[in-house]
Amino acid sequence: MKADVVVVGGGVIGCAVARHAARGGLHVVVVERATPGMEASHAAAGMLSPLAEAEAPGPFLDLLLRARAMYPAFAAALAEETGIDVGYGDAGTLYLALREEDEVELEHRFAWQSAAGLAVERLGADAVRTLEPAVSPATRWALRFPGDHQADNRALGRALWGAAARAGVDFRLGADAVALLREGDRAAGVLLAGGERMEAGAVVLAGGSWAGRMEGLPRPLPVEPVHGQILALESIPPLFRHVIDSPRCYLVPRSEGRVLAGATVEHLGFRKAVTPRGLLGLLAGAVEIAPSLADAAVVETWAGLRPGTPDGFPVLGPDPHVAGLHYATGHFRNGILLAPLTGEVVGEALLGRGVDGAVAEFGVGRFG
Ligand SMILES: Cc1cc2nc3c(=O)[nH]c(=O)nc-3n(C[C@H](O)[C@H](O)[C@H](O)COP(=O)(O)OP(=O)(O)OC[C@H]3O[C@@H](n4cnc5c(N)ncnc54)[C@H](O)[C@@H]3O)c2cc1C
């Protein structure tokens, strides 16, 4: 049977797009070589942090802010559709200056963000330690981003898979899409390893770090894996309410009595490994933020591959030359945050309701 849409990749991005398109009435098949939500989407820390992530005002910040604004309703809809709580937490983020050199970075961030009218506050050391008594006495001052929130990305992956399935999406698990099928200048489906042709009127490339590796793409897709390691420390009773960021490490409190310390940024190709070098850096960064973590139990370590692009921005929307071919990849450090927005804008394009203006800046055509 020919589907309307085949989505390659069942991470949070592929599932969000599939859910939206299926809810609009399309027959969608997700092709996933392993288990949905178990690659970068599983490895992430779940921060929804436009102000801690963007380096300047502009279209990328606008995209992140728009995605962030969608989150409360998105989380509520997923809970209603699946019964899964995606752990949306709105305590906000504190960004600490712990060393003299950190102050330059925080001053710069405060200057451009307050000039842009964004919700950023400057807190003295006493105010920081009143809010979060476990942070280091070395804390000089901090920025507070009250609107930078968090979600449990692992629960999100399960919820999006479930919501997509409930909307009627078919999942082909253990199926590896090896090539794009084309009929002239139209996408016509994908070829699976083993030779099966899966025909469809539209194809969405949502394979995360692997999205550029299929044969037959009309152009090079410069998505490269950017390795990130994280560790989880036991935190019972919870040490923090806020996400705590610093120029060297971030700590993300989780409701299950853990705090995540992340993350390395390394270029190791497709190798995924937890290394002594990575762990040493994360442990030092975590204990610098909260000295009492030096005695906490390490309960899990892992590594994942962020889908990075040359400019650090996602690749969204239709191919300019091949009809029916859509991109939803390259979300790098912000794919959890951008999942609802990507689902909506790519899903709407699949439904023939036009291409969102915000996507124009992030099309594949920018790579020439
Ligand atoms: C350490 C770390 C921390 C992060 N922290 C945050 C954070 O705090 N906040 C945030 O917003 N983002 C964060 N991210 C980024 C975020 O995790 C990613 O941007 C996001 O998960 C990308 O989702 P995806 O669905 O595109 O990719 P993935 O989750 O990697 O999913 C891609 C899927 O496609 C499948 N696939 C690929 N090619 C094929 C093929 N040819 N055939 C069949 N299946 C295929 C894969 O098996 C995989 O399941 C972090 C990432 C890492 C690694």
| Angle, CA 82 vertex, CA 209 and CA 75 arms, to 5° | 65
Q: What is the pLDDT of residue 40?
A: 98
CA distances from 27 to 37, 106, 188, 343, 348 (A): 21, 48, 15, 15, 14
Q: How confident is the model at residue 358 (pLDDT cuts 50, 70, 90)?
A: confident
Ligand 1 atom closest to Cα of 303?
A: 1
Average pLDDT, the chain: 97
Domain 3-81+153-223+310-367 part of CATH 3.50.50.60: yes
* Residue 225 CB–ligand 1 contact under 6 Å: no
Q: Are strands 224-234 and 258-262 parallel, antiparallel or unpaired?
A: antiparallel
| Ligand 1 within 6 A of CB of 346 | no
Task: Please indicate whether residue 307, judged by its CB atom, sits closer than 6 Å to ligand 1.
Answer: yes
Q: Give per-residue pLDDT as tens, 166-196.
A: 999 999 999 999 999 999 999 999 999 999 9
Q: Where are the domains of the chain?
A: 3-81+153-223+310-367, 93-146+224-307
**92 pLDDT higher than 90:** yes
Tokens coding 197: 């042709």
Q: Which amino acid is at 124?
A: G
DSSP string, 230-252: EEEEE-SS-S-SSEEE-SS-EEE
Within 10 angstroms of residue 220's Cβ, the number of other Cβ atoms is: 10
Q: Dmax over Cα atoms in the chain, in whole Å?
A: 66
Q: Which residues contact 280 (CB under 8 A, 6 or more apart)?
A: none
Q: Which atom of ligand 1 is nearest to the CA of 263?
A: 1
Index of the ligand 1 atom closest to the CA of residue 14: 25
Distance CA 262, CA 285 (A): 9
Measuring CA to CA, how many Å separate 141 from each of 54, 107, 124, 125? 20, 10, 5, 5
On the question of pLDDT at 56 being above 80, the answer is: yes
Question: How far is the centre of ligand 1, averaged over its atoms, from the C-alpha of 362 (Å)?
Answer: 18
93-146+224-307: CATH topology is: D-Amino Acid Oxidase; Chain A, domain 2 (3.30.9)
